[in-house]
């Protein structure tokens, strides 16, 4: 039985103390960055990290710098006690739960930014989002100094951006991408699903239905983007409560729109408003593997 009590740290110094002790023992460290309100999707990342590292740190921090002024920073769901239990059950060693003031000095003025990859897809609607993500993840990498970090393909653009940042800035860290975990009916698990009313929850299934349709067409051999995107949009547009932000096919490594699948991994991604809630979903297709999953 997993022990459901887990060490927690609020400050950077406390985290460093834990990690220093582990490193003295020669142990490896994995990091799972999250914004909390954890679910089975997060748990799958933690479980994978526990399998591949001696100690796992989960960061649980609603990072203000990745939210735009009109976004849901204040209303973002939080339940730290439940998060700790999930982390303990999954076998993590430490939950890092700082206050914004523990992470950002009042006069902090240094940010990590990228000249490509972040101006497409979610970057168009959320112009400062990836700058905030890259900044907080760089800080977490410097604080925890993990061997491996774990990200979900649910946020596929984020995964691609973090891979590029780790390469470009020479972080000595392996980035591990993990598959999307879904509800039984197909909806991708998300902390933001709690915003949905009963009616909206049903309507939200148009995202996964569109993803499955697009994936099926590509797996069956369709290589042009347009027919795949048209079929996906048709499914979403048939749902009265849904409003498309974007549905696009891009090269997964460069996040540049493509018209045709060639020999490189592609990302087919969408953001859709269901009422006021903005949900994302996607599939990645890698033509170099037998089943199309990312190599
Ligand atoms: P968040 O707390 O939403 O910032 O997510 C933290 C991490 O969990 C990110 O790497 C997400 O991609 C990942 N994640 C969130 N939802 C899922 C899911 N349904 N399946 C797999 N990974 C997920």
Separation of first and last alpha carbons in the chain: 34
pTM of the predicted structure, to 2 decimals: 0.98
Atom of ligand 1 nearest to the CA of 37: 2
254 CA distance to ligand 1 centroid (A)? 21
Rounded-to-integer distance, Cα 229 and Cα 236, Å: 11
181 CA distance to ligand 1 centroid (A)? 9
**Once rounded to an integer, what is the mean pLDDT over residues 75-102?**
98
In this predicted structure, what is the pLDDT of residue 1? 42
Residue of 35, 40, 45 to mutate, ligand 1, most atoms within 8 A of C-beta:
45
For residues 169 and 88, the answer to whether their CB atoms sit within 8 Å is: no
C-alpha distances in angstroms, 264 versus 128, 155, 250, 268, 284? 28, 19, 10, 13, 11
In this predicted structure, what is the pLDDT of residue 3? 52
CA neighbor of 179 nearest in space, from 252, 282, 92, 271 = 282
CA-proximal residue: ligand 1, atom 18 (nearest): 41
What does the mean pLDDT of the chain come to? 97
Is 42 in the active site?
Answer: yes
Q: pLDDT tens across 210-237, in order?
A: 999 999 999 999 999 999 999 999 999 9
**Once rounded to an integer, what is the mean pLDDT over residues 117-134?**
97
Provide the token pair at 64. Answer: 């203000």
Lining residues, ligand 1, CB within 6 Å: 34-35, 41-42, 44-45, 151-152, 154-155, 178, 180-181, 188-191
Rounded-to-integer distance, Cα 130 and Cα 137, Å: 10
Q: pLDDT tens across 33-49, in order?
A: 999 999 999 999 999 99
* Beta-ladder partners of 247: 270
CA-proximal residue: ligand 1, atom 13 (nearest): 152
In this predicted structure, what is the pLDDT of residue 85? 98
Strands 148-152 and 174-178 turn out to be parallel
**Once rounded to an integer, what is the mean pLDDT over residues 154-172?**
98
């Amino acid at each position: 039985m997993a022990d459901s009590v887990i060490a927690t740290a609020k400050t950077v110094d406390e985290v460093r103390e834990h990690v220093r002790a582990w490193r003295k023992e020669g142990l490896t460290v994995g990091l799972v960055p999250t914004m909390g309100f954890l679910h089975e999707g997060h748990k799958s990342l933690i479980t994978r990290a526990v399998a591949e590292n001696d100690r796992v740190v989960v960061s649980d921090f609603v990072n203000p710098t990745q939210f735009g002024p009109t976004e849901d920073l204040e209303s973002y769901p939080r339940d730290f006690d439940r998060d700790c239990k999930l982390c303990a059950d999954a076998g993590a060693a430490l939950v890092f739960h700082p206050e914004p003031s523990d992470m950002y000095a009042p006069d902090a003025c240094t940010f990590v930014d990228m000249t490509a990859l972040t101006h497409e897809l979610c970057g168009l609607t959320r112009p400062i989002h990836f700058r905030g993500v890259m900044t907080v993840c760089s800080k977490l990498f410097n604080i925890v100094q993990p061997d491996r970090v774990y990200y979900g393909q649910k946020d596929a653009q984020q995964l691609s951006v973090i891979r590029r940042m780790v390469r470009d800035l020479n972080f000595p860290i392996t980035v591990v991408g993990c598959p999307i975990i879904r509800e039984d009916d197909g909806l991708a698990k998300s902390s933001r699903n709690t915003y949905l009313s009963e009616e909206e929850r049903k309507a939200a299934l148009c995202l996964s239905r569109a993803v499955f349709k697009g994936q099926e067409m590509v797996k069956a051999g369709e290589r042009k983007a347009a027919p795949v995107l048209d079929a996906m949009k048709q499914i979403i547009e048939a749902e009265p409560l849904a409003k498309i932000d974007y549905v696009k096919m891009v090269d997964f490594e460069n996040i540049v729109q493509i018209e045709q699948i060639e020999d490189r991994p592609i990302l087919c991604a969408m953001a859709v408003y269901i009422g006021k809630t903005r949900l994302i979903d996607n599939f990645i297709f890698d033509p170099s593997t037998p089943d199309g999953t990312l190599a």
